[in-house]
Structure formats: structure tokens, C-alpha cells
Amino acid sequence: MPAETPPDFSGEGGPRKVARVVLLDPADRILLLHGHEPDDPADDWWFTPGGGLEGAETREEAALRELAEETGITDVELGPVLWRRRCSFPFAGRRWDQDEWYYLARTAQTAGVATGLTELERRSVAGARWWTCRELTRSHETVYPTRLAGLLQRLLDEGPPARPVTLDTEIV
């Protein structure tokens, strides 16, 4: 099967529109996916579920669809947008430029099976894990967005912000 070719995001259309999910369980653990370069599993990181919008779908629709595809979790209460971030990073031989919106979501469903992964995702997602804020703070793993532990702690301490917070642009 040929490798999936990501769209070219350097054109006039601007950055790829992405919806991500900060999914919390009843114990306030956050679900992160474990990703890596398709041809180099040692080049790895953790990230929130989510992905690009398809067709005319809204960011909310994309957030729920991506969450279901990547985790199998569908019993979700989608909340407000917490953060917005612009980022640019190399992955699978291409540069990805993205405008990401991070939605708060809550679920009691802590198990699921990823059945909707693309071919590229099957080659680059190694699994998922629920993290406590304390585990995330103490971890030396690479996590995106950077400073997620502090962002999560603030969310748990203060609740969702009144308006989405714009995070620093990240260029990797």
C-alpha cells in the first residue's frame, strides 16, 4: 500500500485547520497518544488526539470524529475551546503548518479501540495512555503542546478560561 501523502499546506490556503481534544476522565487524567516518525520509532513524542478538518465539517465535528477514529472513545461531552496554537513541524518527510484549536472534553469511557486510523497513523501511532497531571509534570518525555503539564494544572485549578488562550507559536 503506498504511503499517504499529506496535503501541501504552504500554499495560499494558509495553515491546516486542526481540532484537538484535551480529554479528561473522572479522575482528571488526560489521554495522550504516543506518536513517532513512521520510519524511526525512537523519534517519539506524546500528543493530544485530533486532526485536520475534512470537507465542510466544523472544528467541533472534527474534534469528535478524530477522537473516535484515533481512540474509539465516543461517549464524550465536548466543552469549550481552551487554547489556540499555530505550529510548524516536520513529519513523514513533509513540513506541516497548522492552526490548532484545543477543546476540553470529559468522558467516563476510558477504554476504546482505534479503528479509524489512516495508513500513515497506523505507521506512526504506537498507542495511548491516561496521564495524571503529576505524571505529566515529572515526565521527561517530549509532549505537544510544550508546557502541557502547566496548562493542564492551570485548567484543573482554575477551570476553563473565559476565552481561548493563544499559546506561543511552536516551530520544530
pLDDT digits (tens, 9 = 90+) for 38-84: 888 888 999 999 999 999 999 999 999 999 999 999 999 999 999 99
Nine-digit cell at 128?
Answer: 495511548
In angstroms, rounded to a whole number, what is the distance separating the alpha carbons of residues 159 and 170? 24
Mind spelling out the 3-state secondary structure of 110-138?
CCCCCCCCCHHHHHHEEEEEEECHHHHHH
Q: Report if pTM > 0.85.
A: yes
Residues 6+ apart with CB under 8 A from 26: 106, 108
Q: CA 42 → CA 1, 7, 130, distances in Å?
A: 23, 25, 21
In angstroms, rounded to a whole number, what is the distance separating the alpha carbons of residues 25 and 30? 7
Residue 2 has pLDDT above 50, yes or no: no
C-alpha closest to that of 160 among 97, 118, 102:
102
Residue 148 C-alpha from the chain's centroid: 11
Asked if residues 130 and 34 have their Cβ atoms less than 8 Å apart, the reply is no
pLDDT band at residue 1 under the 50/70/90 scheme: very low
Q: What is the pLDDT of residues 20-33, one digit of tens each?
A: 999 999 999 999 99
Q: What is the pLDDT of residues 117-154, one digit of tens each?
A: 777 787 778 889 999 999 999 999 999 999 999 999 99
Query: Residue 135 carries which side chain, given as an amino acid letter?
Result: E
Helix, strand, coil % over all residues of the chain, rounded to 5: 20, 40, 40
